């Protein structure tokens, strides 16, 4: 091979390397976008009225997910000027010491931002587990279901749901 051919091969290799690098960068950006979307979908924060949001939790909660829940909730409290957060754990199959501690920390952090927290959906098995573990939820309002949580959050804003006149 002469110098011109070597230069041409090197140029083609560099173009190929650049194309592969661009493709990898694009795939990495897409993976990050999908990961972000997955986190948003696994931790939906649903505004139901001015200053009131519901955070329905479904599935197992490990330390990583608990941290994401707290981070996302605190961001939304600031962004939406939230006064009441209703955390619904009806869909959480198991609450252990770690999960309970994360929920308490999330409630404390929310209070520091000026939002009250109402924990709803504690079933008999989870209530038994929390009691057996000696976890103190006295600093958090607890109610049996989402409907009760919504009613209390509205009442705190001096609002109520009334039937329409016929």
Query: For residue 114, what pLDDT is reported?
Result: 96
CA 84 to chain centre: 16
Q: Given this model, what pLDDT does residue 37 score?
A: 65
pLDDT for res 147: 96
What confidence score (pLDDT) does residue 7 get?
84
Euclidean distance between CA atoms 106 and 119, whole angstroms? 11
DSSP 81-149: T-SEEEEEEEE-----HHHHHHHHHHHHHHHHTT-EEEEE---HHHHHHHHHHT---TTSEEESSHHHH
| pLDDT at residue 29, rounded to an integer | 85
Selection from 76, 77, 159, 150 nearest residue 114 by Cα: 77
pLDDT tens digits, the chain, 166 residues: what are they?
788 888 888 899 999 999 889 988 988 888 877 777 666 566 899 999 999 999 999 988 888 889 989 999 999 999 999 999 999 999 998 888 888 889 899 999 999 999 999 999 998 888 888 888 888 888 899 999 999 999 999 999 999 888 888 8
pLDDT of residue 4: 82
What distance in Å separates the CA atoms of residue 11 and residue 63, rounded to the nearest whole number?
49
Residue 109: its pLDDT value, please? 96
**Which residues, listed in sequence order, are joined to residue 49 by a DSSP beta bridge?**
52
Q: Is the pTM of this model over 0.95?
A: no
How far is Cα 84 from Cα 141, in angstroms, rounded to an integer?
A: 11
Asked if 82 contacts 115 with a C-beta cutoff of 8 angstroms, the reply is yes
pLDDT at 41: 62
Distance between CA 165 and CA 39 in Å, rounded? 43
What pLDDT, on the 0 to 100 scale, is given for residue 65? 87
Query: What count of other Cβ atoms lies within 10 Å of the Cβ of residue 109?
Result: 16
Do the beta carbons of residue 55 and residue 43 sit within 8 Å? yes
């Amino acid at each position: 091979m002469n110098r011109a051919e070597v230069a041409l091969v090197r140029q083609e290799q560099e173009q190929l390397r650049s194309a592969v690098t661009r493709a990898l960068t694009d795939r990495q950006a897409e993976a990050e976008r999908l990961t972000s979307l997955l986190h948003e979908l696994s931790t939906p924060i649903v505004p139901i009225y001015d200053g009131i949001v519901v955070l329905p939790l479904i599935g197992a909660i490990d330390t990583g997910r608990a941290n994401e829940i707290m981070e996302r909730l605190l961001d939304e409290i600031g962004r939406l000027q939230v006064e009441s957060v209703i955390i619904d754990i009806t869909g959480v199959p198991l609450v252990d010491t770690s999960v309970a501690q994360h929920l308490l920390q999330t409630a404390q952090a929310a209070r520091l931002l000026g939002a009250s927290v109402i924990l709803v959906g504690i079933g008999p098995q989870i209530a038994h587990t929390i009691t057996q573990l000696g976890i103190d939820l006295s600093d958090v309002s607890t109610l049996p279901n989402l409907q009760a949580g919504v009613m209390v959050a509205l009442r705190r804003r001096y609002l109520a749901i009334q039937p329409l006149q016929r």
